[in-house]
Amino acid sequence: MLNALRRLDPLIVLIVTAVLIAVVLPARGQFAEVFAALTNIAIALLFFLYGARLSTREALAGLKHWKLHLTILAATFVVYPLIGMALRPLSFVVGDELYLGILYLTLVPSTVQSSVAFTSIARGNVAGTIVSASLSNLAGVILTPLLVMLCMGAVHGIHIDSSVFLEISLLLLLPFVLGQLTRRWVKNFAAHKATKVVDRGSIAMVVYSAFSSGVVGGIWSDIGIAQLFFLIVFAVALVSAVLWLTRWVSARFGFARPDVIAIEFCGSKKSLATGLPMASVIFATGGGQLGLLILPLMIYHQVQLMVCSWLAARYARQEPAAEAR
């Protein structure tokens, strides 16, 4: 039992804790406003650290492998949104709000940390994954709001103000650029293990804020156990399907095994760290609905970590056997 607890992802523990605290002690009134401001500061610091950690030289060198990056970007911002739109009939199963949450999760960028970690474990192209995941997050600053306008605006009545692009750029892109510009002075600090507190803490703060608004708005009475169970099963099915699709397509395109692994892990991921801050800006006028909109992404994030952890370990065991032959 103790070993199982030690193996739990600290981020998962923090997210669950944030949800429980929000249910018992939700942020209200002036405290909610102050906490929202602190959350934005934490998010900006998180992306400053992302920028400071990324080697500019490695990034420029990695850009030469453009076919790899285009394939991953296509999986993230073309294939996933098409899947999300094709899943429209799910609204009759889980309701319109949760379906919009499912659609939104298909529109957000790929992850950086877990994509790189799993690619490394599976002995894939780590350098290519770092560049592709970073490009995905930078492109997502523009592409995700555009996709929300395109996929959720006309059909579902979600209104996105043009100021969203500026707000997201100031919140995510500007700190990233500042991190790159000051990297020579802060890279050692950014790489320190202590900064992981910012990585995990900022996500937990967004989750607490979003779920608090849901509790205060009284929307959680609309969510049943059956719907939560469905979202978990759906997440397992979607992760598995996209992992298979990205592997099949990249193999057909003639990519080498390390690149296939990079495409599979980076092209199948969805970023909680980027998706939640974007949601808080894009759906700022949604009030209590924000909690429902991010719930599918939160569940999907946990499921993708568990499925990809198993798959990366499996690939790592296969590699020595392949070398022996």
Residue 127 pLDDT > 60? yes
Contacts of 147 (CB under 8 A, 6+ apart): 77, 81, 107
Q: Is residue 292 very low, low, confident or very high in pLDDT (cuts 50, 70, 90)?
A: confident
For residues 217 and 18, the model is more confident at 18
Residues 242-262 have a mean pLDDT of: 94
Q: For residue 182, what pLDDT is reported?
A: 92
Residue 41 pLDDT > 50? yes
For residues 289 and 229, the model is more confident at 229
* Alpha-carbon gap, residue 225 to 223, rounded angstroms: 7
Residues 220-241 have a mean pLDDT of: 86
How many CA atoms does the CB half-sphere of 71 hold within 13 Å?
25
* Percent of the chain whose predicted confidence (pLDDT) is above 90: 26
Q: Is residue 238 very low, low, confident or very high in pLDDT (cuts 50, 70, 90)?
A: very high
- How far CA 58 is from CA of 47, 111, 128, 282, in Å, comes to 18, 18, 9, 32
Q: For residue 158, what pLDDT is reported?
A: 64
How many CA atoms does the CB half-sphere of 214 hold within 13 Å?
27
* Structural domains present in the chain: 2-317 (1.20.1530.20)
Q: For residue 285, what pLDDT is reported?
A: 58
* Alpha-carbon gap, residue 48 to 46, rounded angstroms: 5
Residues 148-163 have a mean pLDDT of: 71
Positive or negative: CA dihedral 238, 242, 245, 248: negative
Q: Is residue 5 very low, low, confident or very high in pLDDT (cuts 50, 70, 90)?
A: very low
**Residue 294 identity:** I
**Of the ranges 19-33, 52-66, 190-204, the best mean pLDDT one:** 19-33
DSSP codes joined into one string, 71-133: HHHHIIIIIHHHHHHHTGGGHHHH-HHHHHHHHHHTTS---SHHHHHHHHHTT--HHHHHHHH
Residue 222 pLDDT > 80? no
Q: Are 137 and 271 in contact (CB under 8 A)?
A: yes
What are 219's two structure tokens? 């929307």
Residue 128 pLDDT > 80? yes
Report pTM: 0.79
For residues 286 and 93, the model is more confident at 93
How many CA atoms does the CB half-sphere of 161 hold within 13 Å?
11
* Alpha-carbon gap, residue 325 to 311, rounded angstroms: 21
Q: Is residue 249 very low, low, confident or very high in pLDDT (cuts 50, 70, 90)?
A: very high
Residue 289 pLDDT > 90? no
Residue 312 pLDDT > 50? yes
Residue 233 pLDDT > 70? yes
Contacts of 206 (CB under 8 A, 6+ apart): 39, 43, 276, 277, 280
Residue 179 pLDDT > 60? yes
Q: For 86-90, 197-201, 298-302, which range has the lowest pLDDT when averaged over its residues?
A: 197-201
Q: For residue 220, what pLDDT is reported?
A: 65
pLDDT of 49-67, one tens digit each? 878 887 777 777 667 788 9
For residues 284 and 105, the model is more confident at 105
* Alpha-carbon gap, residue 292 to 210, rounded angstroms: 9
* Alpha-carbon gap, residue 49 to 168, rounded angstroms: 17
